Structure 1
Amino acid sequence: MEFINTYVKGLDERIEGGIPKGSVILISGPTGSMKSSFSFYIAYNYLKDKKEGNVVYISLEQSRESLINQMVNLGMDIDKLPKNCEFNIFDWGLVRKIVKDAGKHEKVNWLDTIINPVKEFAKNKKLDFVILDSLNALYAISNLENPRNQLFFLFEAMRELGATTLAISETTYNSMQFGTYDVEGFLADSIIHLSMERIGRTLGRYISIIKIRGVKHSTDYYPLLVDKKGFRIISH
Protein backbone atom coordinates (compact mmCIF):
# COMPACT_ATOMS: atom_id res chain seq x y z
CA MET A 1 0.00 0.00 0.00
CA GLU A 2 1.36 3.39 -1.01
CA PHE A 3 0.77 6.36 1.28
CA ILE A 4 0.36 10.10 0.80
CA ASN A 5 1.30 12.63 3.44
CA THR A 6 -1.34 14.82 5.02
CA TYR A 7 1.47 17.35 5.61
CA VAL A 8 -0.02 17.99 9.05
CA LYS A 9 3.03 18.24 11.28
CA GLY A 10 2.94 15.49 13.91
CA LEU A 11 0.06 13.55 12.37
CA ASP A 12 1.54 11.43 9.56
CA GLU A 13 3.86 9.48 11.84
CA ARG A 14 0.82 8.43 13.87
CA ILE A 15 -0.91 6.87 10.87
CA GLU A 16 1.97 4.88 9.35
CA GLY A 17 3.08 7.73 7.12
CA GLY A 18 -0.15 9.15 5.73
CA ILE A 19 -3.33 8.19 3.91
CA PRO A 20 -3.60 5.39 1.32
CA LYS A 21 -3.04 6.65 -2.21
CA GLY A 22 -6.00 6.23 -4.56
CA SER A 23 -8.53 5.82 -1.76
CA VAL A 24 -11.73 7.73 -0.94
CA ILE A 25 -11.41 9.72 2.27
CA LEU A 26 -14.32 11.33 4.08
CA ILE A 27 -13.39 14.68 5.64
CA SER A 28 -16.12 15.20 8.22
CA GLY A 29 -16.85 17.98 10.68
CA PRO A 30 -19.08 20.92 11.64
CA THR A 31 -19.15 24.41 10.18
CA GLY A 32 -15.93 26.28 10.92
CA SER A 33 -13.76 23.22 11.45
CA MET A 34 -11.77 24.08 8.27
CA LYS A 35 -12.70 21.03 6.23
CA SER A 36 -12.23 22.84 2.91
CA SER A 37 -8.94 24.41 3.95
CA PHE A 38 -7.65 21.09 5.31
CA SER A 39 -8.52 19.25 2.07
CA PHE A 40 -6.99 22.01 -0.06
CA TYR A 41 -3.89 21.95 2.16
CA ILE A 42 -3.23 18.24 1.57
CA ALA A 43 -3.56 18.47 -2.22
CA TYR A 44 -1.69 21.77 -2.48
CA ASN A 45 1.29 20.53 -0.50
CA TYR A 46 1.34 17.28 -2.45
CA LEU A 47 1.81 19.24 -5.68
CA LYS A 48 4.35 21.53 -4.06
CA ASP A 49 6.30 18.55 -2.73
CA LYS A 50 6.20 16.39 -5.90
CA LYS A 51 6.60 19.38 -8.25
CA GLU A 52 4.12 17.84 -10.67
CA GLY A 53 0.58 16.49 -10.76
CA ASN A 54 -3.07 17.38 -11.26
CA VAL A 55 -5.82 18.27 -8.82
CA VAL A 56 -9.52 18.85 -9.46
CA TYR A 57 -11.41 20.75 -6.78
CA ILE A 58 -15.20 20.54 -7.23
CA SER A 59 -16.74 23.54 -5.48
CA LEU A 60 -20.52 23.35 -5.28
CA GLU A 61 -21.14 26.44 -3.16
CA GLN A 62 -18.13 28.71 -2.71
CA SER A 63 -17.07 30.68 -5.78
CA ARG A 64 -13.65 30.10 -7.31
CA GLU A 65 -12.58 33.66 -6.50
CA SER A 66 -13.66 33.37 -2.86
CA LEU A 67 -11.95 29.99 -2.46
CA ILE A 68 -8.68 31.23 -3.96
CA ASN A 69 -8.67 34.34 -1.74
CA GLN A 70 -9.30 32.22 1.33
CA MET A 71 -6.42 29.87 0.53
CA VAL A 72 -3.99 32.69 -0.33
CA ASN A 73 -4.68 34.11 3.14
CA LEU A 74 -3.54 30.74 4.52
CA GLY A 75 -0.34 30.86 2.47
CA MET A 76 -1.55 28.64 -0.40
CA ASP A 77 -1.33 30.43 -3.75
CA ILE A 78 -1.93 28.03 -6.65
CA ASP A 79 -0.26 30.50 -9.04
CA LYS A 80 3.03 29.90 -7.21
CA LEU A 81 3.01 26.13 -7.67
CA PRO A 82 5.69 24.55 -9.90
CA LYS A 83 4.96 24.80 -13.64
CA ASN A 84 4.16 21.07 -14.01
CA CYS A 85 1.36 21.34 -11.47
CA GLU A 86 -2.31 22.01 -12.22
CA PHE A 87 -4.78 22.91 -9.48
CA ASN A 88 -8.11 23.04 -11.30
CA ILE A 89 -11.16 24.50 -9.55
CA PHE A 90 -14.52 23.52 -11.05
CA ASP A 91 -16.93 26.25 -9.94
CA TRP A 92 -20.31 24.51 -9.95
CA GLY A 93 -21.98 27.25 -7.89
CA LEU A 94 -22.07 29.41 -11.02
CA VAL A 95 -23.47 26.53 -13.11
CA ARG A 96 -26.15 25.86 -10.50
CA LYS A 97 -27.28 29.49 -10.69
CA ILE A 98 -27.43 29.44 -14.51
CA VAL A 99 -29.45 26.19 -14.51
CA LYS A 100 -31.79 27.49 -11.83
CA ASP A 101 -32.36 30.76 -13.69
CA ALA A 102 -33.18 28.75 -16.80
CA GLY A 103 -35.82 26.81 -14.85
CA LYS A 104 -34.18 23.42 -15.53
CA HIS A 105 -32.78 22.71 -12.07
CA GLU A 106 -35.15 19.83 -11.28
CA LYS A 107 -34.42 18.07 -14.58
CA VAL A 108 -30.68 17.72 -14.03
CA ASN A 109 -29.08 14.49 -12.80
CA TRP A 110 -26.54 16.30 -10.67
CA LEU A 111 -24.58 13.23 -9.59
CA ASP A 112 -23.74 12.38 -13.21
CA THR A 113 -23.46 16.03 -14.28
CA ILE A 114 -20.78 16.72 -11.68
CA ILE A 115 -18.75 13.52 -11.93
CA ASN A 116 -18.75 13.12 -15.75
CA PRO A 117 -16.51 16.15 -16.51
CA VAL A 118 -14.01 14.81 -13.99
CA LYS A 119 -14.07 11.44 -15.76
CA GLU A 120 -13.38 13.20 -19.07
CA PHE A 121 -10.52 15.14 -17.49
CA ALA A 122 -9.04 11.89 -16.15
CA LYS A 123 -9.02 10.38 -19.65
CA ASN A 124 -6.51 12.97 -20.80
CA LYS A 125 -4.48 13.59 -17.66
CA LYS A 126 -3.54 11.49 -14.67
CA LEU A 127 -5.42 12.80 -11.67
CA ASP A 128 -3.67 12.83 -8.32
CA PHE A 129 -6.42 14.38 -6.19
CA VAL A 130 -10.15 15.04 -6.48
CA ILE A 131 -11.84 17.15 -3.80
CA LEU A 132 -15.64 17.18 -3.59
CA ASP A 133 -16.84 20.19 -1.61
CA SER A 134 -19.29 19.17 -0.41
CA LEU A 135 -21.52 16.11 -0.22
CA ASN A 136 -24.12 18.18 1.65
CA ALA A 137 -24.31 20.71 -1.18
CA LEU A 138 -24.71 17.83 -3.63
CA TYR A 139 -27.58 16.41 -1.54
CA ALA A 140 -29.26 19.82 -1.50
CA ILE A 141 -29.55 19.91 -5.29
CA SER A 142 -30.02 16.18 -5.97
CA ASN A 143 -33.08 14.04 -5.66
CA LEU A 144 -31.74 11.03 -3.78
CA GLU A 145 -34.66 8.61 -3.77
CA ASN A 146 -32.41 5.73 -2.73
CA PRO A 147 -29.42 7.34 -0.95
CA ARG A 148 -27.65 4.11 -0.01
CA ASN A 149 -27.68 2.82 -3.58
CA GLN A 150 -26.98 6.15 -5.29
CA LEU A 151 -24.13 7.02 -2.93
CA PHE A 152 -22.59 3.58 -3.46
CA PHE A 153 -22.32 4.29 -7.19
CA LEU A 154 -21.06 7.83 -6.56
CA PHE A 155 -18.26 6.58 -4.30
CA GLU A 156 -17.39 3.82 -6.78
CA ALA A 157 -17.25 6.38 -9.61
CA MET A 158 -14.85 8.50 -7.54
CA ARG A 159 -12.76 5.45 -6.69
CA GLU A 160 -12.52 4.46 -10.37
CA LEU A 161 -10.90 7.81 -11.20
CA GLY A 162 -7.69 6.40 -9.76
CA ALA A 163 -7.08 9.57 -7.77
CA THR A 164 -7.06 10.12 -4.04
CA THR A 165 -10.51 11.56 -3.35
CA LEU A 166 -11.34 13.85 -0.43
CA ALA A 167 -15.11 14.03 0.02
CA ILE A 168 -16.18 16.77 2.44
CA SER A 169 -19.12 16.08 4.73
CA GLU A 170 -20.63 18.67 7.05
CA THR A 171 -22.04 17.44 10.36
CA THR A 172 -23.50 18.99 13.48
CA TYR A 173 -21.43 19.87 16.53
CA ASN A 174 -20.67 16.95 18.90
CA SER A 175 -22.08 14.48 16.37
CA MET A 176 -20.45 11.09 15.88
CA GLN A 177 -22.42 10.54 12.68
CA PHE A 178 -19.99 11.36 9.90
CA GLY A 179 -22.45 11.80 7.04
CA THR A 180 -26.01 12.91 6.45
CA TYR A 181 -27.25 9.41 5.62
CA ASP A 182 -24.94 7.55 8.01
CA VAL A 183 -23.74 5.42 5.09
CA GLU A 184 -20.93 7.66 3.86
CA GLY A 185 -18.58 6.38 6.57
CA PHE A 186 -19.09 2.77 5.45
CA LEU A 187 -18.51 3.61 1.80
CA ALA A 188 -15.33 5.63 2.43
CA ASP A 189 -11.96 3.92 2.84
CA SER A 190 -10.94 6.40 5.53
CA ILE A 191 -12.57 8.98 7.80
CA ILE A 192 -10.82 12.06 9.13
CA HIS A 193 -12.90 13.92 11.69
CA LEU A 194 -12.37 17.61 12.38
CA SER A 195 -14.17 18.72 15.51
CA MET A 196 -14.55 21.82 17.65
CA GLU A 197 -14.84 22.26 21.40
CA ARG A 198 -15.54 25.32 23.47
CA ILE A 199 -12.66 26.25 25.76
CA GLY A 200 -13.59 29.22 27.89
CA ARG A 201 -14.57 31.97 25.46
CA THR A 202 -12.92 30.38 22.41
CA LEU A 203 -13.45 27.36 20.18
CA GLY A 204 -10.60 24.89 19.91
CA ARG A 205 -10.14 22.74 16.80
CA TYR A 206 -9.33 19.02 17.02
CA ILE A 207 -8.55 16.24 14.56
CA SER A 208 -8.89 12.48 14.73
CA ILE A 209 -8.36 9.60 12.32
CA ILE A 210 -11.54 7.58 12.78
CA LYS A 211 -10.61 4.83 10.34
CA ILE A 212 -8.16 3.85 7.64
CA ARG A 213 -8.87 0.45 6.15
CA GLY A 214 -5.99 -1.95 6.61
CA VAL A 215 -3.93 0.41 8.78
CA LYS A 216 -3.34 0.44 12.53
CA HIS A 217 -3.57 3.98 13.86
CA SER A 218 -4.40 6.04 16.89
CA THR A 219 -8.00 7.26 17.25
CA ASP A 220 -7.06 10.01 19.70
CA TYR A 221 -8.24 13.56 19.16
CA TYR A 222 -5.38 16.02 18.86
CA PRO A 223 -5.56 19.81 19.17
CA LEU A 224 -5.17 21.27 15.67
CA LEU A 225 -3.40 24.56 15.07
CA VAL A 226 -3.66 26.44 11.78
CA ASP A 227 -1.71 29.47 10.59
CA LYS A 228 0.36 30.57 7.58
CA LYS A 229 2.98 28.02 8.57
CA GLY A 230 0.44 25.28 7.94
CA PHE A 231 -1.51 22.70 9.92
CA ARG A 232 0.01 20.97 12.93
CA ILE A 233 -1.14 18.98 15.93
CA ILE A 234 -0.20 19.29 19.59
CA SER A 235 0.62 15.94 21.15
CA HIS A 236 2.13 14.74 24.38
Structure 2
Amino acid sequence: MVTEYTVERVKSGIQGFDDLIEGGFPKGTTVLVTGPTGSGKTTFGVQFVYKGAELYDEPGVIVTLEERSRDLRREMLAFGWDIGKYEREGKIAIIDGVSAVVGLPSEEQYVLEGNLNAEDFLRYVYRVVKAINAKRLVIDSIPSIAFRLKKEEEIRSVLLQFNTILLEMGVTSILTTEAPDPSRGKISRYGIEEYIARGVILLDFVEKEVELKRYLLIRKMRETKHSMKKYPFEINENGIVVYPSGELY
Protein backbone atom coordinates (compact mmCIF):
# COMPACT_ATOMS: atom_id res chain seq x y z
CA MET A 1 0.00 0.00 0.00
CA VAL A 2 1.44 3.36 -1.07
CA THR A 3 1.06 6.20 1.43
CA GLU A 4 -0.22 9.36 -0.23
CA TYR A 5 2.18 12.27 0.14
CA THR A 6 0.57 15.64 0.77
CA VAL A 7 2.27 19.00 0.96
CA GLU A 8 1.09 21.46 3.59
CA ARG A 9 0.57 24.86 1.93
CA VAL A 10 1.01 28.42 3.15
CA LYS A 11 -1.22 30.94 1.43
CA SER A 12 0.76 33.83 -0.02
CA GLY A 13 -1.79 36.60 0.49
CA ILE A 14 -1.05 37.69 -3.10
CA GLN A 15 -4.39 37.88 -4.92
CA GLY A 16 -4.49 35.39 -7.82
CA PHE A 17 -1.02 33.98 -7.16
CA ASP A 18 -1.91 30.86 -5.17
CA ASP A 19 -3.90 29.57 -8.15
CA LEU A 20 -0.53 29.15 -9.89
CA ILE A 21 1.16 27.11 -7.13
CA GLU A 22 -1.45 24.55 -6.06
CA GLY A 23 -2.90 26.72 -3.33
CA GLY A 24 0.19 28.23 -1.70
CA PHE A 25 3.88 27.89 -0.92
CA PRO A 26 5.06 24.58 0.52
CA LYS A 27 5.28 25.13 4.27
CA GLY A 28 8.82 25.85 5.49
CA THR A 29 10.22 26.56 2.05
CA THR A 30 12.62 29.35 1.03
CA VAL A 31 11.54 31.39 -1.99
CA LEU A 32 13.67 33.85 -3.92
CA VAL A 33 11.83 36.82 -5.41
CA THR A 34 14.03 38.50 -8.00
CA GLY A 35 13.68 41.27 -10.53
CA PRO A 36 14.99 44.67 -11.61
CA THR A 37 14.57 47.84 -9.59
CA GLY A 38 10.94 48.89 -9.24
CA SER A 39 9.47 45.52 -10.19
CA GLY A 40 7.61 45.05 -6.87
CA LYS A 41 9.89 42.75 -4.87
CA THR A 42 9.55 44.60 -1.56
CA THR A 43 5.78 44.90 -1.95
CA PHE A 44 5.53 41.16 -2.69
CA GLY A 45 7.47 40.31 0.47
CA VAL A 46 5.68 42.72 2.78
CA GLN A 47 2.29 41.63 1.43
CA PHE A 48 3.20 38.02 2.24
CA VAL A 49 3.91 38.91 5.87
CA TYR A 50 1.12 41.46 6.32
CA LYS A 51 -1.61 39.23 4.90
CA GLY A 52 -0.29 36.36 6.97
CA ALA A 53 -1.00 38.39 10.10
CA GLU A 54 -4.25 39.92 8.86
CA LEU A 55 -5.92 36.91 7.23
CA TYR A 56 -4.29 33.78 8.64
CA ASP A 57 -3.17 34.72 12.17
CA GLU A 58 0.43 33.83 11.30
CA PRO A 59 3.11 36.08 12.83
CA GLY A 60 5.89 37.29 10.55
CA VAL A 61 9.24 39.07 10.59
CA ILE A 62 10.40 41.65 8.04
CA VAL A 63 14.14 42.31 7.85
CA THR A 64 14.51 45.61 6.04
CA LEU A 65 18.05 46.30 4.84
CA GLU A 66 17.32 48.95 2.22
CA GLU A 67 15.02 51.43 3.96
CA ARG A 68 14.25 52.41 7.51
CA SER A 69 11.35 50.74 9.29
CA ARG A 70 9.47 54.04 9.66
CA ASP A 71 9.69 54.66 5.91
CA LEU A 72 8.49 51.14 5.13
CA ARG A 73 5.47 51.54 7.41
CA ARG A 74 4.56 54.85 5.79
CA GLU A 75 4.88 53.52 2.24
CA MET A 76 2.72 50.48 2.96
CA LEU A 77 -0.12 52.68 4.22
CA ALA A 78 -0.73 53.46 0.53
CA PHE A 79 -2.18 49.93 0.32
CA GLY A 80 -4.14 50.33 3.55
CA TRP A 81 -1.66 48.14 5.43
CA ASP A 82 -1.28 49.33 9.01
CA ILE A 83 1.85 47.39 9.95
CA GLY A 84 2.11 49.21 13.28
CA LYS A 85 -1.20 47.73 14.41
CA TYR A 86 0.12 44.19 14.07
CA GLU A 87 3.45 45.13 15.61
CA ARG A 88 1.59 46.25 18.72
CA GLU A 89 -0.29 42.95 18.72
CA GLY A 90 2.95 40.98 18.45
CA LYS A 91 2.07 39.54 15.06
CA ILE A 92 4.67 41.43 13.02
CA ALA A 93 8.22 42.44 13.88
CA ILE A 94 10.37 44.69 11.70
CA ILE A 95 14.13 44.44 12.08
CA ASP A 96 15.74 47.77 11.19
CA GLY A 97 18.95 46.96 9.33
CA VAL A 98 19.54 50.42 7.90
CA SER A 99 19.82 53.03 10.65
CA ALA A 100 23.04 51.77 12.23
CA VAL A 101 24.73 51.30 8.86
CA VAL A 102 24.11 54.91 7.82
CA GLY A 103 24.88 56.24 11.31
CA LEU A 104 21.36 57.27 12.33
CA PRO A 105 19.82 56.66 15.76
CA SER A 106 16.88 54.30 15.85
CA GLU A 107 13.96 54.05 18.25
CA GLU A 108 12.90 50.67 16.87
CA GLN A 109 12.47 47.64 19.11
CA TYR A 110 14.57 45.45 16.82
CA VAL A 111 17.74 47.00 15.38
CA LEU A 112 20.73 45.38 13.70
CA GLU A 113 24.06 46.82 14.74
CA GLY A 114 26.17 48.28 11.96
CA ASN A 115 29.17 45.99 12.46
CA LEU A 116 27.49 42.61 12.77
CA ASN A 117 29.24 39.71 11.11
CA ALA A 118 27.35 36.98 9.30
CA GLU A 119 26.93 34.73 12.34
CA ASP A 120 25.67 37.56 14.54
CA PHE A 121 23.25 38.62 11.81
CA LEU A 122 21.81 35.12 11.52
CA ARG A 123 21.64 34.70 15.28
CA TYR A 124 19.78 37.98 15.73
CA VAL A 125 17.19 37.16 13.07
CA TYR A 126 16.72 33.74 14.63
CA ARG A 127 16.07 35.30 18.06
CA VAL A 128 13.43 37.67 16.72
CA VAL A 129 11.70 34.86 14.81
CA LYS A 130 11.50 32.83 17.99
CA ALA A 131 10.46 35.84 20.10
CA ILE A 132 7.17 36.26 18.24
CA ASN A 133 6.85 32.61 17.13
CA ALA A 134 6.99 33.75 13.49
CA LYS A 135 5.73 31.51 10.72
CA ARG A 136 6.75 33.87 7.91
CA LEU A 137 9.97 35.74 7.22
CA VAL A 138 11.05 38.28 4.59
CA ILE A 139 14.60 39.49 4.06
CA ASP A 140 14.89 42.51 1.77
CA SER A 141 17.47 42.18 0.28
CA ILE A 142 20.40 39.80 -0.35
CA PRO A 143 22.67 42.43 -2.00
CA SER A 144 22.27 44.54 1.14
CA ILE A 145 23.49 41.61 3.27
CA ALA A 146 26.60 41.48 1.09
CA PHE A 147 27.04 45.23 1.52
CA ARG A 148 26.95 44.84 5.29
CA LEU A 149 29.59 42.10 5.14
CA LYS A 150 31.89 44.41 3.19
CA LYS A 151 33.19 41.31 1.37
CA GLU A 152 30.91 40.14 -1.38
CA GLU A 153 32.90 36.93 -1.82
CA GLU A 154 31.55 35.81 1.57
CA ILE A 155 27.97 35.90 0.35
CA ARG A 156 28.01 32.36 -1.07
CA SER A 157 28.91 30.69 2.22
CA VAL A 158 26.58 33.00 4.13
CA LEU A 159 23.61 32.16 1.90
CA LEU A 160 24.24 28.44 2.22
CA GLN A 161 24.45 28.78 5.99
CA PHE A 162 21.41 31.02 6.08
CA ASN A 163 19.31 28.63 4.03
CA THR A 164 20.13 25.78 6.41
CA ILE A 165 19.12 27.88 9.42
CA LEU A 166 15.88 28.99 7.74
CA LEU A 167 14.92 25.38 7.07
CA GLU A 168 15.64 24.51 10.71
CA MET A 169 13.49 27.43 11.89
CA GLY A 170 10.55 25.98 10.00
CA VAL A 171 9.46 29.39 8.73
CA THR A 172 8.29 30.02 5.20
CA SER A 173 10.72 32.61 3.88
CA ILE A 174 11.01 35.10 1.04
CA LEU A 175 14.40 36.52 0.11
CA THR A 176 14.67 39.31 -2.44
CA THR A 177 17.52 40.01 -4.81
CA GLU A 178 18.31 42.04 -7.92
CA ALA A 179 18.10 40.52 -11.41
CA PRO A 180 20.86 42.20 -13.47
CA ASP A 181 19.59 41.11 -16.89
CA PRO A 182 16.61 38.71 -16.93
CA SER A 183 16.42 38.77 -20.73
CA ARG A 184 19.87 37.16 -20.85
CA GLY A 185 19.13 34.67 -18.10
CA LYS A 186 20.92 36.63 -15.34
CA ILE A 187 18.26 36.52 -12.67
CA SER A 188 20.38 37.03 -9.55
CA ARG A 189 23.23 39.27 -8.49
CA TYR A 190 25.61 36.55 -7.34
CA GLY A 191 24.52 33.57 -9.41
CA ILE A 192 23.94 31.34 -6.40
CA GLU A 193 20.70 32.65 -4.90
CA GLU A 194 18.47 30.69 -7.27
CA TYR A 195 20.25 27.43 -6.44
CA ILE A 196 19.90 27.58 -2.67
CA ALA A 197 16.24 28.63 -2.81
CA ARG A 198 13.55 26.01 -3.21
CA GLY A 199 11.42 28.43 -5.20
CA VAL A 200 12.28 31.24 -7.62
CA ILE A 201 9.84 33.94 -8.75
CA LEU A 202 10.85 36.53 -11.34
CA LEU A 203 9.07 39.90 -11.45
CA ASP A 204 9.87 41.86 -14.59
CA PHE A 205 8.61 44.24 -17.26
CA VAL A 206 7.68 43.87 -20.92
CA GLU A 207 7.32 46.83 -23.26
CA LYS A 208 3.97 47.12 -24.99
CA GLU A 209 3.19 50.13 -27.17
CA VAL A 210 5.85 52.33 -25.50
CA GLU A 211 4.53 51.37 -22.05
CA LEU A 212 6.08 49.01 -19.52
CA LYS A 213 3.78 46.24 -18.28
CA ARG A 214 4.51 43.94 -15.36
CA TYR A 215 4.71 40.17 -15.50
CA LEU A 216 5.47 37.30 -13.12
CA LEU A 217 7.25 34.05 -13.96
CA ILE A 218 7.66 31.07 -11.61
CA ARG A 219 11.09 29.72 -12.50
CA LYS A 220 11.10 27.03 -9.84
CA MET A 221 8.91 25.77 -7.00
CA ARG A 222 9.81 22.46 -5.38
CA GLU A 223 6.99 20.07 -4.48
CA THR A 224 4.67 22.05 -6.73
CA LYS A 225 3.28 21.67 -10.22
CA HIS A 226 3.39 25.01 -11.98
CA SER A 227 3.42 26.56 -15.41
CA MET A 228 6.42 28.32 -16.95
CA LYS A 229 4.16 30.96 -18.50
CA LYS A 230 4.51 34.66 -17.92
CA TYR A 231 1.50 36.02 -16.05
CA PRO A 232 0.48 39.69 -15.98
CA PHE A 233 0.18 41.43 -12.64
CA GLU A 234 -0.33 44.92 -11.37
CA ILE A 235 0.28 46.89 -8.22
CA ASN A 236 -2.86 48.78 -7.28
CA GLU A 237 -4.35 50.26 -4.11
CA ASN A 238 -4.67 46.74 -2.65
CA GLY A 239 -1.11 45.64 -3.36
CA ILE A 240 -0.06 43.04 -5.93
CA VAL A 241 -2.77 41.34 -7.99
CA VAL A 242 -1.86 38.50 -10.37
CA TYR A 243 -4.07 37.48 -13.29
CA PRO A 244 -3.74 33.69 -13.69
CA SER A 245 -5.95 33.52 -16.78
CA GLY A 246 -4.73 36.74 -18.34
CA GLU A 247 -2.83 37.04 -21.57
CA LEU A 248 0.57 38.68 -21.41
CA TYR A 249 -0.68 41.88 -22.99
TM-score > 0.5, shorter chain as reference: yes
Q: Distance in 1 between matches of 2:235 and 2:93?
A: 24
With over 3 angstroms needed to count, the CA separation of the structure-2 counterparts of 1:94 and 1:174, relative to structure 1, is same
Q: Distance in 2 between matches of 1:231 and 1:134?
A: 19
Q: Which amino acid aligns with 1:36?
A: T
Q: Distance in 1 between matches of 2:78 and 2:10?
A: 25
Secondary structure at 1:226's aligned position in 2?
strand
Alignment match, 1:197: 206
Aligned pair partner of 2:30 in 24, 29, 48? 24
Please state if 1:112 is matched with 2:111: no
Q: Distance in 1 between matches of 2:46 and 2:220?
A: 20
1:43–1:55 Cα contact (<8 Å) kept: yes
2:27–2:172 Cα contact (<8 Å) kept: yes
Q: Distance in 2 between matches of 1:8 and 1:150?
A: 29
Secondary structure at 2:60's aligned position in 1?
strand
Q: Which amino acid aligns with 1:158?
A: L
Q: TM-score if structure 2 supplies the norm length? A: 0.83
Alignment match, 1:56: 61
Q: Distance in 2 between matches of 1:114 and 1:34?
A: 25
1:47–1:85 Cα contact (<8 Å) kept: no
Alignment match, 1:128: 135
Deviation of 1:82 after TM superposition, in Å, equals 9.6
Q: TM-score if structure 1 supplies the norm length? A: 0.87
Please state if 1:139 is matched with 2:156: no
Alignment match, 1:177: 186
Alignment match, 1:5: 11
Please state if 1:89 is matched with 2:59: no
Aligned pair partner of 2:51 in 31, 42, 45? 45
Deviation of 1:146 after TM superposition, in Å, equals 4.7
Q: Which amino acid aligns with 2:123?
A: N
Alignment match, 1:168: 176
Deviation of 1:136 after TM superposition, in Å, equals 0.8
Deviation of 1:158 after TM superposition, in Å, equals 2.3
Secondary structure at 1:214's aligned position in 2?
coil
Aligned pair partner of 1:148 in 137, 156, 161? 156
Deviation of 1:215 after TM superposition, in Å, equals 1.3
Q: Which amino acid aligns with 2:207?
A: R
Deviation of 1:88 after TM superposition, in Å, equals 1.1
Deviation of 1:159 after TM superposition, in Å, equals 2.2
Q: Distance in 1 between matches of 2:195 and 2:177?
A: 13
Secondary structure at 1:53's aligned position in 2?
coil
Deviation of 1:45 after TM superposition, in Å, equals 0.8
- C-alpha RMSD over aligned residues: 2.3
Aligned residues, how many?
229
